[in-house]
Structure 1
Amino acid sequence: MNLLLTASGLRNESLRDALRDMLGKPFGSANVVYVPTASVAEPGDHGWLLADMNRLHGLGWREFDVLELNGLPRQMVLDRLLRADVVHVGGGNQYHLARSITGNGLADGFLEALESRVYVGMSAGSMIFSQNLTTHSAEVIGDAADLHALGATAVEPPFGLFDWYLKPHLHSPDFPERDDAWAGRIAARADFPVWFIDDDTAVRVRDDTVDVVSEGRWRFCP
């Protein structure tokens, strides 16, 4: 399985080079599918979503598909995932994204598709693989409001691949409170490992190997 888990998409050449290497062929010879599902649960201006989509589209794919996980037949969603070489899942509300996957019975088919495809996550799209995407972690991390905004009190991890949790946007100007002190407070109360990554960083997973691709700052708190 090849996962490139970013905070803010393919913002720099190191991240784009990592994707080229994982894909193993030119972008112009590959299909990509963009999943914006997490974004629809976020209120306000969505210029960040358009910027991410345009950045990805600008890489010059053979086919650029956009796929919403809700409201379509399950098999249609899975067929569209299987048509892609790269599955890019965008940011927004990670709990809405997780509930869309589990609620529509997509988890097993999604994982099966990723066995032979490259996955790129942005923010929420990078957070859904943890065993610790739970009500407990929402309280620990400080994200409970994002869960309660959905009228929900619980969430089921759709995949549960890793014991570590990923928290994006360290030192981001869009989240000025997310400094080293903020990360330290979370790490002090967390009973699970946490990756904190900034907007120029990705956690890369290739089979059983986990490493970091970065032109910025990050920290791992085991």
Structure 2
Amino acid sequence: MRLLLTSAGIKNPSIYEALLGLLDRPVSECHALCIPTAMYGHPQAGPGAGAWRFIAGRSDEPMTELGWKSVGVLELTALPSIDEQYWVPLVKKADVLLVSGGDALYLNHWMRESGLAELLPSLTETVYVGMSAGSMVMAPRVGEYFVEWPPPSGDDAALGVVDFSIFPHVGHPMLPENTMAAAERWAAGLGGPAYAIDDDTAIAVTDDAVEVVSKGQWRYFGG
């Protein structure tokens, strides 16, 4: 699986070019599945208008509105009640998964409960595009700073697909607490490598190669 881990979607031409490089063909030839699940667990997102805007491509964090050949919805909370034959083939046929922001630990819980987490290693030709929590969930940990929804495990562990953690939305005007100084304190408590990124930054991962794509500000913490 190839990963494009963003703070706020495909926000600038550099991130878009990185997406095209991972897809290796035009967006218009690719079938996408969008996953809004993380939004439901976050008090500032939740179900309702935010999830609709993400799915419909009406948000200011471009994901579904890029001109895909098709866009479907994969709701993880529904999958445990559906036979795998009805959804696993759809995931395997998708060229790209578009995973929204929200609460990373809520998303982690439902990725595991739904069976999607177990399926991810087999999706070798799929491009995974995360936004905020959708990116953070791929890390070993999200860090105590981001624990809001209390997971049954009682800790901040995530999927561990990559070996680094992500602090998104650095310098966002609506998140004044998300400063680089706050990110440095967050990283100090992780015990592993981490990146702090703003909304004009993304991290592309192919095999063992990690590339930062940025028109903004970011910082690497070695752990």
For normalisation by structure 2, the TM-score amounts to: 0.86
Q: 1:208 to 1:131 in 2, by over 3 A?
A: same
Q: For residue 33 of structure 1, what is the aligned residue in structure 2?
A: 33
CA contact (8 A) 2:180 2:196 kept: no
Distance 2:146 2:180 in 1: 18
TM-superposed deviation, 1:42: 2.1
SS for the counterpart of 1:4 is strand
Q: For residue 9 of structure 1, what is the aligned residue in structure 2?
A: 9
Q: Deviations over 1:56-95 (max 9, x none)?
A: 3332111111110112325233222112111111110111
Superposition RMSD on alpha carbons, in Å? 2.1
Q: Deviations over 1:82-133 (max 9, x none)?
A: 12111111110111110001122332212212x1111100011101122234
Q: For residue 189 of structure 1, what is the aligned residue in structure 2?
A: 189
TM-superposed deviation, 1:16: 1.0
| AA of the residue aligned to 1:128 | V
SS for the counterpart of 1:64 is strand
| AA of the residue aligned to 1:157 | A
| AA of the residue aligned to 1:176 | P
Distance 1:162 1:58 in 2: 27
**2:160 pairs with 1:153:** no
Runs of 4+ in 1 over 6 A off after TM superposition: none
Q: 1:74 to 1:122 in 2, by over 3 A?
A: farther
**2:139 pairs with 1:130:** yes
| AA of the residue aligned to 2:65 | G
For normalisation by structure 1, the TM-score amounts to: 0.86
TM-superposed deviation, 1:44: 4.4
Structure 1 runs not aligned, ≥5 long: none
1:34-183 mapped onto 2 (5 Å cutoff): 34-44=34-44, 49=51, 52-53=54-55, 54=57, 55-72=62-79, 73=82, 75=84, 76-113=86-123, 115-133=124-142, 137-138=143-144, 142-144=145-147, 146-148=148-150, 153-154=154-155, 157-158=158-159, 160-183=160-183
TM-superposed deviation, 1:175: 1.1
SS for the counterpart of 1:57 is coil
Q: 1:185 to 1:43 in 2, by over 3 A?
A: closer
User: Percentage identity across aligned positions?
Assistant: 34
